A and B are shown apart, each in its own frame.
Chain A
């Protein structure tokens, strides 16, 4: 920073221009800070009301209670999360039965078998599946899928049932599995395929014996993401599954072994965590009541579960990116 009249003026600018630069940088940083604030706000909002809720209802009662009836009309209020958990798990598992095999096979087809032409058509088309509004899927399940199941496979199916809702959740999450898995499979170096072919492996053996194992962490990460999406899915289940928090009937098989008939759970209505939240929101929103606070407790649980699953999925996915 020498001050000489001879040398060109290289002095750092003060004043207007620097102010302008700083202002723009600050504005952009503020935008970025909003994303961080959103997370904090979500956490604080959920936690503050959840804390109030847990002062009224002990955590142990919440976690082990087998009855959920937040509205005190006839009979007492009860805030047991177990039936909601069962509903959520049923939907998630059934949806996984649709989305995981289909998505994996789709990924294998796209990565190993499809011509580049077929791939360029199929990939964007598959993304459509994830882009259809979920309320539309719910409507499809209620109005078309359930009657179709009733007419063909399950005459005893209820108007509101877990099965058709779960099938739709599964179809919606197919692209999540297929696109991330396909990325992982495409990242498998071609040399490995060549080595397999060089040993006399068929295309089937190379695809299932070399490519799939080599991309297993990417596939696993896609599974976790799809399952986490299914857990948080709301509108499909709200529209098509009804809203009855029930404990499944435990039957007795031979030798007194207790079991739950899947048909009891799948063909009848049930309630997931998300449905319970929507149901309360449909009634009372002014705040300060226990049902109002219970939404936030449920939301906190949902938030925690999906967050943990996403972090795990990230860590696993990070691993496959490092491998090659």
Chain B
């Protein structure tokens, strides 16, 4: 127990400094993604229970909670990846750019072209590094200089220096951390507005994970980043806002990250953060 508390204090100081610098540099955020009275069911089972949330533009928002609490489900509601699960049923609104993405006239494919996604396990295509990054550009009919955009994206993903001499070799030849940064480059190449990340570091070693964390911080300059993580230290380190989901798919508390980790309103959230359960 004593170990845990000392860890928490260490993190607190870190967060405070980071957020202070962040808030001075950035303009007040508009809402990028919002959910209103969102309920999601898998067959008879409820995965998301009446969630209402507003996620700010160009900030890192972390979704945390014990496994099975519905945080990944919520993430997949935003770009309608849940459509592909047959038993999944969604009620309520998810707004992106002021438009409900579940309206009948919304094409989920067009929606996903504006929202990038990075998955838990690195999943590069069995193609060359260049083709991996260019894939989104290709399917969206990008008419600019593809090579230039590939280079920019790889640089933005902090991978360019490592792979610039082997752009034509297979993406599968890279290490796990490099593969995940390649997936990030792939996601941001078509210049989406939002990047969704579903536990992007959970399959990586700590060194590779820390590189990704640094990268996420930079990404927030340009993109709205929504990240699901089961690692509370990670949420504390990299996010501006944190949403805590608890069992049954309920959003229990949502606030600035320092507030959540220092002084949560809810006893259950404090119990979860200090490791009393979950």
A249 at the interface (CB under 8 A from B): no
Q: Is the CB of A199 within 8 A of B116?
A: yes
With contacts A191-B121, A192-B123, A213-B126 taken as known, whether A197 is within 8 angstroms of B81 at the C-beta atoms is: yes
What does the 1/0 interface line of B102-146 toward A look like (CB < 8 Å)? 000000011111111101010111110000000110111000000
Q: Which residue of B lies closest to A198 (CB)?
A: B117
Q: Is the CB of B109 within 8 A of A189?
A: no
B1 at the interface (CB under 8 A from A): no
Report the minimum CB–CB distance from A175 to chain B (whole Å).
Answer: 26
Binds A, one of B160-168, B183-191, B231-239: B183-191
Give the CA-CA distance A197 to B79 in the complex, in Å.
Answer: 10
A323 at the interface (CB under 8 A from B): yes
Give the CA-CA distance A198 to B135 in the complex, in Å.
Answer: 12
A98 at the interface (CB under 8 A from B): no
With contacts A200-B140, A209-B139 taken as known, whether A195 is within 8 angstroms of B123 at the C-beta atoms is: yes
Contacts of B79 in A (CB 8 A): 198
A210 at the interface (CB under 8 A from B): yes
Contacts of B125 in A (CB 8 A): 192, 195-196, 210, 213-214
A318 at the interface (CB under 8 A from B): no
Q: Is the CB of A197 within 8 A of B139?
A: no
Report the minimum CB–CB distance from A288 to chain B (whole Å).
Answer: 57
Q: Is the CB of A214 within 8 A of B126?
A: yes
Contacts of A201 in B (CB 8 A): 109, 112, 135, 139
Contacts of A199 in B (CB 8 A): 112-113, 116-117, 135-136, 139, 186-187, 190
Give the CA-CA distance A192 to B81 in the complex, in Å.
Answer: 13
Contacts of B196 in A (CB 8 A): 198
Contacts of A197 in B (CB 8 A): 81, 84, 112
Most buried by B among A199, A210, A214, A323: A199
Give the CA-CA distance A195 to B111 in the complex, in Å.
Answer: 14
Give the CA-CA distance A213 to B123 in the complex, in Å.
Answer: 15
Contacts of A323 in B (CB 8 A): 126, 172
A261 at the interface (CB under 8 A from B): no
Q: Is the CB of A200 within 8 A of B119?
A: no
Report the minimum CB–CB distance from B206 to chain A (whole Å).
Answer: 23
Give the CA-CA distance A199 to B112 in the complex, in Å.
Answer: 6
Interface residues of A in 167-218 (CB under 8 A from B): 189, 191-192, 194-202, 205, 209-210, 213-214
Give the CA-CA distance A195 to B180 in the complex, in Å.
Answer: 12
Give the CA-CA distance A210 to B126 in the complex, in Å.
Answer: 8
Number of A-B residue pairs at CB separation under 8 A: 70
Q: Is the CB of B186 within 8 A of A200?
A: no
Contacts of B138 in A (CB 8 A): 209
Q: Is the CB of B114 within 8 A of A198?
A: no
Q: Which residue of A lies closest to B140 (CB)?
A: A200
Q: Is the CB of A194 within 8 A of B123?
A: yes
> Residue A198 contacts which of B81, B121, B126, B172 (CB distance < 8 angstroms)?
B81
Give the CA-CA distance A323 to B127 in the complex, in Å.
Answer: 12
Report the minimum CB–CB distance from B142 to chain A (whole Å).
Answer: 12
Contacts of B119 in A (CB 8 A): 191, 194-195, 198
Q: Which residue of B lies closest to A324 (CB)?
A: B126
Q: Which residue of A lies closest to B121 (CB)?
A: A191
Contacts of A213 in B (CB 8 A): 125-127
Interface residues of B in 173-211 (CB under 8 A from A): 183, 186-187, 190, 196
What does the 1/0 interface line of A6-27 toward B look like (CB < 8 Å)? 0000000000000000000000
Q: Is the CB of A200 within 8 A of B126?
A: no
With contacts A197-B81, A209-B135, A209-B139 taken as known, whether A202 is within 8 angstroms of B109 at the C-beta atoms is: yes
What does the 1/0 interface line of B210-243 toward A look like (CB < 8 Å)? 0000000000000000000000000000000000
Give the CA-CA distance A301 to B190 in the complex, in Å.
Answer: 54
Contacts of B81 in A (CB 8 A): 194, 197-198
Contacts of A192 in B (CB 8 A): 123, 125-126
Contacts of A202 in B (CB 8 A): 109, 139
Give the CA-CA distance A214 to B124 in the complex, in Å.
Answer: 11
Give the CA-CA distance A214 to B123 in the complex, in Å.
Answer: 12
Report the minimum CB–CB distance from B133 to chain A (whole Å).
Answer: 11
Contacts of B84 in A (CB 8 A): 197
What does the 1/0 interface line of B79-109 toward A look like (CB < 8 Å)? 1010010000000000000000000000001
Nearest first, the 4 closest Cβ-Cβ pairs linking A and B are A200-B113, A198-B117, A191-B123, A200-B112
Q: List 8 A-B contacts (CB under 8 A).
A: A192-B123, A195-B123, A195-B186, A197-B84, A199-B139, A200-B111, A205-B139, A210-B135
